[in-house]
């Protein structure tokens, strides 16, 4: 990528964020302020400056923002976008765990349960073992497991 015309679409503060080259950068701003655009163009700029895409980590909080960020990076950067580590905190760290799990004796195909999945599983176990639901309440059992 040799074109940096995307910089012309940014205000001064956004340009400083995009062209910042000394270490990591956190972008905190309100809705509609251009965070996704800044992240997208920052990735493009890093690649333009010679940073390998596989060395770039771009995180967001929501799946919607992550999808939008990935789509925009793809449009600006092209095929190199597939090698950028971009996604939500949860998806990226699940990906890292899957890569590293076998190194510590765990399978890479593990399942991550959210609170509702965990509660459902505990309820199924209590039922299967024919335990009293009043004594073995799923919420209190999960609380004990988590502490």
Q: List, in sequence order, every residue forming a beta bridge with 76; answer none if it has no partner.
A: none
The pLDDT of residue 1: 47
Domain encompassing residue 136:
113-146
pLDDT tens string for the chain (147 positions)? 457 888 899 999 999 999 999 888 888 988 889 888 998 999 999 999 999 999 999 988 888 889 998 999 999 889 989 999 999 999 999 999 999 999 999 999 999 888 899 999 999 999 999 999 999 999 999 999 988
How far is Cα 101 from Cα 112, in angstroms, rounded to an integer?
A: 13
Structure pTM?
A: 0.70
Q: Examine the domain organization and report whether 119 and 78 are in the same domain.
A: no
Element (H, E) at 88: strand 85-88
Q: What is the DSSP letter of 31?
A: T
The pLDDT of residue 147: 82
Q: Examine the domain organization and report whether 53 and 69 are in the same domain.
A: yes
Q: Examine the domain organization and report whether 20 and 72 are in the same domain.
A: yes
Element (H, E) at 24: none
What CATH number has the domain bearing residue 82?
3.40.50.300
The pLDDT of residue 2: 54
How far is Cα 101 from Cα 82, in angstroms, rounded to an integer?
A: 23
Q: Examine the domain organization and report whether 19 and 83 are in the same domain.
A: yes
Q: Tell the burial category of 19 from Cβ atoms under 10 Å away from its Cβ (0-12, 13-18, 19+).
A: middle
Q: Examine the domain organization and report whether 117 and 142 are in the same domain.
A: yes
Q: Examine the domain organization and report whether 46 and 100 are in the same domain.
A: yes
The pLDDT of residue 47: 92
Whether the CB-CB separation of 73 and 84 falls below 8 Å is answered with yes
Determine the straight-line distance between the first and last CA of the chain, rounded to whole angstroms: 49
């Amino acid at each position: 990528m040799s074109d940096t015309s995307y910089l012309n679409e940014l205000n001064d503060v956004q340009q400083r964020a995009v062209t910042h080259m000394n270490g990591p950068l956190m972008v905190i701003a309100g809705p509609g302020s251009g965070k996704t655009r800044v992240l997208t163009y920052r990735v493009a700029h890093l690649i333009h400056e010679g940073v390998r895409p596989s060395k770039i980590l771009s995180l967001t909080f929501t799946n919607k923002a992550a999808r939008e960020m990935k789509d925009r990076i793809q449009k600006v950067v092209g095929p190199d976008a597939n090698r950028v580590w971009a996604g939500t905190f949860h998806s990226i760290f699940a990906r890292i765990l899957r890569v590293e799990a076998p190194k510590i004796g765990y399978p890479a195909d593990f399942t991550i349960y959210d609170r509702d999945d965990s509660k459902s599983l505990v309820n199924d176990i209590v039922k299967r073992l024919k335990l009293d639901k009043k004594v073995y309440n799923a919420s209190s059992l999960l609380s004990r497991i988590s502490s």
